[in-house]
Structure 1
Amino acid sequence: MRTMRGWFRDTTGGLPPTFWYLWTGTLINRLGSFVLVFLAIYLTQERGFSASQAGLVLGLWGVGGAVGTTVGGTLTDRWGRRPTLLTAHLGAAGMMLALGLAEELWAVALGALLLGMFAEAARPAFGAMMVDVVPEKDRLRAFSLNYWAINLGFACAAVLAGLAAEAGYLLLFVVDAATTVVTALIIFAKVRETRTVPAGPRPDDAPVGALRVILTDRVYLGFVALNLFAALVFLQHISMLPIAMGDSGLSPATYGSVIALNGVLIVVGQLFVPRLIRGRSRSHVLALASVVMGVGFGLTAFAEAAWFYGVTVLIWTVGEMLNSPSNATLIAELSPAALRGRYQGVFSLSWQVAGAVAPILGGLVREQAGNTTLWLGCAAIGGVMAVAHLVSGPARERRAATLRATTRPAVPVAAIRPPTPEAAETAPAEPVEPASAPAR
């Protein structure tokens, strides 16, 4: 018992209150995250759309998400983390209801596009705020705890959504919108702005040359590209897996139960992952994660019964559990403080591009080459990614070490105040650029 208490204290102790407010909001939001899990089934069975039309709608969700993460990353750095989060959550709640009420294909497609834009605009702000408030030494366990909350909510949501769908699909959209509003209220009431700027004589200056810095950061862009391929494989569990299980004669409720195993395993095991991988080479951990994920999705080619599908989900979930905390800490260490929101946005963009491409590409491969080719192709991508992580890992670690050595102290934006009239009279004049100058 004493050992268990010590483990719990080591896992959860010492993290700032803001982290726990964000964690709580994440858990509540994910408990109601029904829609994306069942959207493919909803579109094909309730609305009567074809598999390709459903893939198009899911792809537009990804396109909207790509716009949202790009805009959200910029707003996170320039406007602030808190207002970006509030706007994104409230907009997503409204669009969730609109999507649930839409009937024609064009209305559903437009609703998915706008919902993806608002929902994903929150990602860069949330990620940047987590990095702002959690010290570097605690980030691995903080990101693991947050991922644990995401999947605890997901596990419950997948099961509840299967039951709620029997009562009517509109209920899924209403509950999802309600939990999104609750998360926004928590942020409004408990979370303060955390954006910081480098200490210096001109702290109000916007980052100069932000886009140029990111586009010339080959190490970071290489890392983002690898995540794009991982996401193309991983997101097949939302788009093509429910369709494959339907072809095997399995019901939506069975899909909900099977995919819930993903969340259950993460809830049971994710908090032990930081201790397991602490001190190990991140490139080796990411390579192993890629192989395990590829094997799990590859075995789906041979699945017919629910238990076999469940085994494949458990296998690729282990890869996901290894991948997520290592990815999160690397993003934090590879992002310059002044461009943290934009860097988070670019990383999130890889998920949104995959969200747009994965269902369309998966549908085309499945229709043209067959189910077996789709899943074995996922396994092949996992193997190639593992090699790429081993090759590129040393350059990433050198880049992270360089940033740690050159990062200047930062001060909260909220602490920056205009000088008083008395101070202005005694301070020497100094030319400054307008704070509103656009980043180039």
Structure 2
Amino acid sequence: MKLTHGENKDKEIKLHWLLLGELTTWIGSSFVWPLTSVYLNKQLHISLSLIGVVLFCNCASNVLGSLVGGWLYDRCNPYPMIVAGLSLDALILFLMAFFHGWPEYWVWLTLTGFISGWNGTLINSIATSLRRYPGRYVFNIIYFAQNLGTVTGTLAVGYLYDYSIKLLFIIAASLFVVATVNAVINYRPIIAFHKKRQSNVSHEGHKQKAEPMPKNNLLMTIGFSATLIVIWLMYMNWESNLSVYMVSLGIPFHMYSLLWTFNGAIIVIAQIILARYPHLFKNLFHQIIFGTTMFAISFVTLIFARDFAHFALSMFILTLGEATAFPAIPSYVNELSPITSKGKYQGEINVSRGIGQAFGPLFGGAIIDRAGYIPFFITAASGIFLMILLILPLHSKLRKRLKLYK
């Protein structure tokens, strides 16, 4: 396995400022997505089918934002791009505070989807520039900050929503203002990194195209992307169809909500452990396989779940998969990506996630409507296990020919 080392940088964005930005933006974002379906249906009296279209537009625009953000990161100075993305998100949330009727809410949600994909890809791409820490550690700790923000936001949103939806959006917008100010002040080192990166790809005064990913690396990345699509395709049904199933079994809805607090808490604990013991897994691929296997097993356990305790067990197993596989995949793809193409491939990872998020509820709903929940759980487990059976021999065949960029 060939290894290309990057240089240590004396000046780079401090990791804690990157984490502050992620924490504040994910708290702000978590004020919006949990209430969307309830607000549109109960307050604006929008049908559930039309709400599904609204959420699909949000996910589709997120995919587009990820593609554009990744493409531009490799070609342009990312500093003004991330500042613009965060400030635009703040502006839209302020507008939502005062104009949250129909159909403007649909428009705002579609725009925030695009900007969220843009910002997410840029942050992941900027994270690849950090040389002070191993890539595995950086992506694990970023994922920790994101989920800490999600837990904080989802715990607060219920109280704020009952008090005032206007105040909720103003607080969310203010959090994005904090993230914008943080980026303006503390993300400036990415300018020098970008200039150095651009100078490294110049030849006789003419800029070369971004270095393509080696063929073997590309094949492995495609395998990871396909796996991520399948995982999200199944995972999204936890956020949509599982609530209906649990209520149909006589489990109160607030117990379903409690599962997500449990999910966030386990992720935070798992990320602390992974940060403290970065070599708990032999390598990133082992971490990905472990996480993907946990996802599959969680759906196997759902086949037998009939009470809250069993659903909590399924959520615990699912969360182990989420806490290990999700941060490990972009980290490994970072190592597989040439320095001039990192934004492109981080964008494609976000696109894979977005595709699964967009089509997951539709896919699960179609199977459940025609065959029921148990056949869906079997399909979900089988689909994820199939991806493991595909990427294991793929990695075994390619691993000695992979070129890693540190």
TM over 0.5: yes
Change (3 A) 1:96 1:284: same
Structure 1: where are the runs of 5+ without partners? 1-13, 408-440
Change (3 A) 1:394 1:91: farther
Change (3 A) 1:395 1:53: farther
8 Å Cα contact 1:21-1:190 kept in structure 2 = yes
Match of 2:56 in 1: 59
Q: Given the alignment of the two structures, is residue 70 of structure 1 paired with residue 51 of structure 2, yes or no?
A: no
Change (3 A) 1:362 1:133: same
8 Å Cα contact 1:58-1:359 kept in structure 2 = no
Report the CA distance between 1:157 and its aligned residue. 1.7
8 Å Cα contact 2:147-2:268 kept in structure 1 = yes
Match of 1:123 in 2: 120
How many angstroms apart in 2 are the aligned matches of 1:118 and 1:271?
Answer: 29
How many angstroms apart in 2 are the aligned matches of 1:276 and 1:132?
Answer: 19
Q: Given the alignment of the two structures, is residue 34 of structure 1 paired with residue 31 of structure 2, yes or no?
A: yes
Q: Report the 3-state secondary structure (helix = DSSP H, G, I; strand = E; otherwise coil) of the residue aligned with 1:337.
A: coil
Report 1:264-279 matches (<5 A): 264-273=265-274, 275=277, 277-278=279-280
**For 1:272-325, what per-residue CA distance to the aligned partner results, in whole angstroms no more than 9, with x for missing partners?**
225365452543432221121122244445545544433322110011122133
How many angstroms apart in 2 are the aligned matches of 1:87 and 1:395?
Answer: 43
Report the CA distance between 1:23 and its aligned residue. 0.7
Report 1:169-188 matches (<5 A): 169-188=165-184
Count matched residues: 389
Match of 1:5 in 2: none
How many angstroms apart in 1 are the aligned matches of 2:92 and 2:205?
Answer: 34
Change (3 A) 1:200 1:139: closer
How many angstroms apart in 2 are the aligned matches of 1:317 and 1:103?
Answer: 35
How many angstroms apart in 2 are the aligned matches of 1:288 and 1:231?
Answer: 16
Report the CA distance between 1:67 and its aligned residue. 0.9
**For 1:49-86, what per-residue CA distance to the aligned partner results, in whole angstroms no more than 9, with x for missing partners?**
34332222211111101110111112212222221211
For the pair shown, the structure with the greater C-alpha radius of gyration is 1
How many angstroms apart in 2 are the aligned matches of 1:320 and 1:206?
Answer: 40
Out of 336, 339, 342, the position equivalent to 1:340 is 342
8 Å Cα contact 2:298-2:318 kept in structure 1 = yes
Q: Given the alignment of the two structures, is residue 88 of structure 1 paired with residue 88 of structure 2, yes or no?
A: no
**For 1:214-258, what per-residue CA distance to the aligned partner results, in whole angstroms no more than 9, with x for missing partners?**
999333222212211122122333333344445556666544332
Out of 133, 137, 140, the position equivalent to 2:136 is 140
Choose 80-89 or 193-202, whichever is displaced more. 193-202
Choose 83-92 or 207-216, whichever is displaced more. 207-216
Match of 1:316 in 2: 318
TM-score, structure 1 normalization: 0.78
Q: Report the 3-state secondary structure (helix = DSSP H, G, I; strand = E; otherwise coil) of the residue aligned with 2:198.
A: strand
Report the CA distance between 1:204 and its aligned residue. 7.3
Q: Report the 3-state secondary structure (helix = DSSP H, G, I; strand = E; otherwise coil) of the residue aligned with 1:338.
A: coil
Choose 170-179 or 288-297, whichever is displaced more. 170-179
TM-score, structure 2 normalization: 0.84
Q: Report the 3-state secondary structure (helix = DSSP H, G, I; strand = E; otherwise coil) of the residue aligned with 1:34.
A: coil
Q: Given the alignment of the two structures, is residue 208 of structure 1 paired with residue 209 of structure 2, yes or no?
A: yes
Change (3 A) 1:76 1:201: closer
Change (3 A) 1:246 1:189: farther
Match of 2:101 in 1: 103
**For 1:322-352, what per-residue CA distance to the aligned partner results, in whole angstroms no more than 9, with x for missing partners?**
2133213211111111111111111111112
Superposition CA RMSD, Å: 3.1
Match of 1:237 in 2: 238
Structure 2: where are the runs of 5+ without partners? 1-9
- One-letter code of the match for 1:95? I
Q: Report the 3-state secondary structure (helix = DSSP H, G, I; strand = E; otherwise coil) of the residue aligned with 1:103.
A: coil
8 Å Cα contact 1:59-1:358 kept in structure 2 = no
Change (3 A) 1:282 1:19: closer
8 Å Cα contact 1:124-1:344 kept in structure 2 = yes
How many angstroms apart in 1 are the aligned matches of 2:180 and 2:169?
Answer: 17
Q: Given the alignment of the two structures, is residue 228 of structure 1 paired with residue 229 of structure 2, yes or no?
A: yes
- One-letter code of the match for 2:37? A
How many angstroms apart in 1 are the aligned matches of 2:137 and 2:321?
Answer: 17
Choose 148-157 or 205-214, whichever is displaced more. 205-214
Report the CA distance between 1:269 and its aligned residue. 2.5
**For 1:149-182, what per-residue CA distance to the aligned partner results, in whole angstroms no more than 9, with x for missing partners?**
1111212222212222332444443332221221
Report the CA distance between 1:211 and its aligned residue. 8.3
- One-letter code of the match for 1:257? L
8 Å Cα contact 1:287-1:385 kept in structure 2 = no
Q: Report the 3-state secondary structure (helix = DSSP H, G, I; strand = E; otherwise coil) of the residue aligned with 1:336.
A: coil
Report the CA distance between 1:89 and its aligned residue. 1.5
Choose 341-350 or 74-83, whichever is displaced more. 74-83
8 Å Cα contact 2:259-2:312 kept in structure 1 = yes
Choose 154-163 or 58-67, whichever is displaced more. 154-163
Q: Given the alignment of the two structures, is residue 376 of structure 1 paired with residue 374 of structure 2, yes or no?
A: no
- One-letter code of the match for 2:203? R
